[in-house]
Structure 1
Amino acid sequence: MNNTLHEVFSQPATWRQTESLTGDARRELAAPGERMLVLGCGTSWFVAQSIAELRESAGLGETDAVCASEYVPRRHYDRIVAITRSGTSTEVLDALRRVPAGVRRVAVTAVRGEPVDGLTDARLVLDFADERSVVQTRFPTSVLVTVLRAYGKGGERVVADGEAALAASLPADPGDVDHLVFLGTGWTVGLAHEAALKVREAAQAHAESYPALDFRHGPVAVAGPRTLVWSLGDVPESLDETARAAGAIVYRDDRHPLAQLVLAQRFALALAAHRGLDPDRPRLLTRSVVLAAR
């Protein structure tokens, strides 16, 4: 078993451990009534998108999500939260340096003692969810379980469904698929983006992701018999017929959306194995993007 697969299968256990962080997460990530911005790069940006939707839908306050490299301090925020597994990503650190004085800066990370510590007022450290792998799996999902608990959206169902997703059959034979489309709605749009990224990173395969109803506004044109259209969360069932009409394989299930993401991670690794790739050594990628001084 490679490191990445081991970390995928460890997720229900790390999700249970997030319960110990609920109080700190409520204090730093709920902050009722404040205007909040959540920053990240890659996987962390998609996690930020999900957090922003979850926080607003919980009635906790206006929340935006921005790719850290695109952050420009134009709008006023009371609090800026940076998601960074390593605490070393250059674009995240640069964004935090641009935050105006008086704004509370919070890091959600997996490692202590890294440069992000000196740029933030508070840290939420999920060291039990840190990973050896370049391809992130259990850290981002553990962050989201932490957020779900902090926002009063539960935690026990997701653990049980996560365990079920580890035992479930894959939705298709990886040998029959060379194009994946992940669809989400609300907070699961971020999960759809993350699922597609896992396929690109681990299996070097063609994977797309969209807000569900946008699938009919162009993306369906490239779907065909070797396409797997995968819905995450409460996606309208009418889209299944749209995908089938294009000849695509369709998949959805009733498990918690994070458990559905676990199954997508498993599929990405199975597709990598089918293609003879080692997901522990993804092409052109490193654990953290650290750029030379500019």
Structure 2
Amino acid sequence: MLGPNKGVQSFATLAEILSQPEIWRQCLSELESSGAIREILDEAKSRTEWTFIGCGSSFYLAEAAAASWTMMTGQRARAVPASEILLFPGMSVRAAENAQAVVISRSGRTSEAVKAAQVLSQEHRLPTLGVTCAADSQLEEACDRTIRLLAADEKSMVMTRSFSSMLLALQVLAGEKSGKTEIASSLGRLADHFAGRVRALSAQVEEFVSEHSFADYVFLGQGPFHSLAREASLKITEMSCSYSQAFHTLEFRHGPKAVVNPATCLTFFLSEAGLQAESEVRAEMHHLGGLTIAICNRANDAIRRSSDFIFELGFDGPELATLAPFIVPGQLLALFTGVKKNLNPDEPKNLSRVVILD
């Protein structure tokens, strides 16, 4: 619960959310100057089946990274929770000569992630790449190579800038692998573009939350945006203890729409490739009485007519570059909803910053 003098601007979580464009710039600059991406790919030239592994937010990040990898490189990639590596290795481990494992953990100390890296390396002889925001971590010790994004680490419990920054790093890796070196420069332009918008977005989301109260939340996305829906759903559960679900957008018609009523907030992560079909679902849910949030690169007239809140990025660049900024409205919605419920987003109920098992 919040103390009597706790103002929203004093929360570390909000500061970390708002810092993301600058942190992206730092991380991208460090990746370029270190030469780490090129060194990793030189060692992985023959590896064409990539598995991205994580727990919680890092698993949803793994899903976004796997989707980005396949779409950029044309190679097969998938995401697997670390627990599946440990409990069902026969289903989840591909011990092929051309396989590469990427294990993601903000702290580098998450027990399941570290153990998964050890199992993959020692028992299955798979090359492992760790991605973390910590220095000299157990994950780094367990992996053959590690990408460290120290600037993206956080004081708060929930992952915000670490999620988006590690995603950008893996997109740079995929862009370099595909030979599309312009990806890194487009992500740099993205950071500059979003820097001028993030504080206005924060104020807009805070106002929206102050004017509405909801009983439940639904987050919807297709393709690479489905992982964002899952991550945003987790954020509002963590920071506001609200009931939330995530679905593929068009799948929501097939039963789940029964829950829609005026106390339902539906957030749509709208893709450019599927905009028409996804917008039809959004309009249908609006007609059923739900309040709709549209997160998109560019809104058309139909979106403007039947959305209660719109975040329009307006970025001229590859669509996959929009993933990182698209998650930010969901982070802000979660934070301000928690504050409205007199909860402390820096100290969510029942959570610890790192899940360490005996």
Q: TM-score range by the shorter chain?
A: over 0.9
Specify the alignment match of 2:357 in structure 1: 291
- CA distance in structure 2 between the aligned counterparts of 1:187 and 1:27, rounded to whole angstroms: 27
Specify the alignment match of 2:27 in structure 1: 18
Matches within 5 A, 1:96-115: 96-99=117-120, 100-115=123-138
Specify the alignment match of 1:233 in structure 2: 270
Please identify, of 242-251 and 269-278, the stretch whose mean Cα deviation from structure 2 is larger.
Answer: 242-251
Letter in 1 for 2:84: E
- Whether the 8 Å contact between 1:135 and 1:287 is mirrored in structure 2 is yes
Unaligned runs of 5+ in 1: none
Shift of residue 117 of structure 1? Answer: 2.0
Residues paired across the two proteins, number: 292
Specify the alignment match of 1:3 in structure 2: 12
Cα deviation digits, residues 184-206 of structure 1 (max 9, x gap)? 11111111111111100000011
Shift of residue 111 of structure 1? Answer: 0.7
Percent sequence identity over aligned pairs: 28
Specify the alignment match of 1:76 in structure 2: 95
Secondary structure of the residue aligned to 1:237 is helix
Shift of residue 180 of structure 1? Answer: 1.4
Please identify, of 193-202 and 56-65, the stretch whose mean Cα deviation from structure 2 is larger.
Answer: 56-65
Letter in 2 for 1:155: L
- CA distance in structure 1 between the aligned counterparts of 2:77 and 2:190, rounded to whole angstroms: 24
Aligned mate of 2:242, from 181, 186, 205: 205
Q: Does 1:64 align with 2:78?
A: yes
Specify the alignment match of 2:317 in structure 1: none
Specify the alignment match of 1:270 in structure 2: 336
Please identify, of 171-180 and 245-254, the stretch whose mean Cα deviation from structure 2 is larger.
Answer: 171-180
Shift of residue 66 of structure 1? Answer: 0.3
Matches within 5 A, 1:99-138: 99=120, 100-138=123-161
- Whether the 8 Å contact between 1:162 and 1:262 is mirrored in structure 2 is no
- CA distance in structure 2 between the aligned counterparts of 1:179 and 1:29, rounded to whole angstroms: 44
Matches within 5 A, 1:165-204: 165-168=198-201, 169-170=204-205, 172-174=208-210, 175-204=212-241
Shift of residue 76 of structure 1? Answer: 2.7
Q: Which protein has the larger Cα radius of gyration, Structure 1 or Structure 2?
A: 2
Secondary structure of the residue aligned to 1:279 is coil
Unaligned runs of 5+ in 2: 1-9, 298-312, 314-321
Please identify, of 58-67 and 275-284, the stretch whose mean Cα deviation from structure 2 is larger.
Answer: 58-67
Structure that is richer in helix per residue: 2
Q: Cα gap change, 1:262/1:63 in structure 2, threshold over 3 Å: closer, same or farther?
A: same
Letter in 1 for 2:239: A
Please identify, of 228-237 and 158-167, the stretch whose mean Cα deviation from structure 2 is larger.
Answer: 158-167
Q: Cα gap change, 1:223/1:28 in structure 2, threshold over 3 Å: closer, same or farther?
A: farther
Shift of residue 82 of structure 1? Answer: 0.4
Secondary structure of the residue aligned to 1:172 is helix
- Whether the 8 Å contact between 1:165 and 1:263 is mirrored in structure 2 is no
Shift of residue 29 of structure 1? Answer: 7.0
Cα deviation digits, residues 145-193 of structure 1 (max 9, x gap)? 2223332443045321354143121283354223211111111111111
Shift of residue 24 of structure 1? Answer: 2.5
- CA distance in structure 2 between the aligned counterparts of 1:162 and 1:196, rounded to whole angstroms: 24
- Whether the 8 Å contact between 1:158 and 1:258 is mirrored in structure 2 is no
Please identify, of 64-73 and 41-50, the stretch whose mean Cα deviation from structure 2 is larger.
Answer: 64-73
